[in-house]
Amino acid sequence: MQANDITKKWDDVILPFQLDAADVRGRVTRLDGTLNKILSQHNYPFVVSALVAEAALLTALIGQTIGLRWKLSIQIRGDGPLRIIATDYFAPQSEMEPARIRAYASYNSESIETTKKEGFDLIGKGMFAILIDQGSGTKPYQGITPLAGGSLSKCAETYFAQSEQLPTRFKTITAQETRSDVDMKWRAGGIMVQHMPKASPSIQKDGGSGEGGLLQADDLLSDDDAENWSRATILMDSAEETELIGPHVGQEQLLHRLFHQETPRIFPAQPIKFGCTCGEEKVRQTMSIYSIKDIKHMTADNGMVTADCQFCGAHYELEPSTLGKDAVNES
């Protein structure tokens, strides 16, 4: 059996686990076909693709915990050449279905080419936000923290420490195949560990040890909890890149390699795939707030109002007379 055939059962799967003795829970995942579907919707420069890949991986790791039919979004906004990275994780409609994920980036291509900044520094100063939408009739939850730590993974760790008071660590790797005889495909793999919530976490009164006084995971733990947390994160950090994205180690095997002394308890895997929720009806709903004058300004030379989905690139052309406030009132 070829390596590519072997890895199919590991591709695009999120595997939850728990280390009961250490009071730690976590997820391990790989994004392969799903990640390539996300990135193939756009023609991003390599550095942008790498950051979108990391954001998608974090979204999969974090999103697996939300309830059925919920939506989790991550928004990263900065004042640098890479202005926005946005991701959405749509929980399954039922337990038998895969979750869906999508992502896109907005950037200044000229500035990306000419700047001396690289990687995470392309985002500049800004914010990291997580939004959770539980559906109609509920108020979406939103938490925001500054960009800090030098990577998107570190930003996510800071978010959980500062906004949720949950010690959290990530180990992530994204890579693009370099073989000349195949299409340039992306792979991403990662592990997330998180200390189980405490009724009243121990928080230092004089601020955190992170950048700008932001809280970090170690600021929230003491005594046995701190020792258990340190052991779990040291074991997680021992994972090699080839174990996270290579063709020879599956998620369950990796967990037993890393945490065999902790006796990991493994839960059912959650498959994930690319999915976009755009559609003509949603475009019409978006346009329903505009007046006839506004719609006229949006009308292209061909006499139609056009719209493109930033996530999947779907193109819509709509008759102006069917859009806007007046069209909604008439219907």
The domain limits of the chain are: 13-274, 280-330
3-state secondary structure (DSSP) of residue 239: coil
* 270-325 pLDDT per residue, tens: 999 999 998 888 888 888 888 888 888 889 888 988 888 889 888 888 898 888 76
Cβ-Cβ contacts under 8 Å for 173 (sequence gap 6 or more): 188, 189, 190, 241, 244, 245
Residue 319 has which token pair?
A: 């008759």
pLDDT > 80? residue 139: yes
Packing angle between helix 33-40 and helix 46-63, nearest 10 degrees?
130
Average pLDDT over residues 248-267: 94
pLDDT recorded at residue 183? 66
Average pLDDT over residues 49-75: 96
pLDDT recorded at residue 327? 61
CA angle 311, 313, 317 (to 5 degrees): 125
pLDDT recorded at residue 77? 98
Half-sphere exposure of 103 toward its Cβ, with a 13 Å CA cutoff?
Answer: 32
Give the pTM: 0.90
| Contact criterion met (CB below 8 Å) for 88 and 71 | yes
pLDDT > 90? residue 2: no
Lowest mean pLDDT among 96-105, 129-138, 231-240, 313-322: 313-322
* 83-96 pLDDT per residue, tens: 999 999 999 999 88
How does residue 328 score in pLDDT terms, banded at 50, 70 and 90?
very low
| Contact criterion met (CB below 8 Å) for 69 and 93 | yes
**Cα gap 82→74, rounded to integer Å:** 15
Assign domain 13-274 one CATH number from 3.40.50.300, 1.20.1250.20, 2.60.120.1440, 3.55.30.10.
Answer: 3.55.30.10
Between 19 and 136, the higher pLDDT residue: 19
Q: Looking at the domain 280-330, which fold is it? A: CBS domain Like (3.90.1280)
Residue 221: DSSP 8-state: -
**Cα gap 198→320, rounded to integer Å:** 55
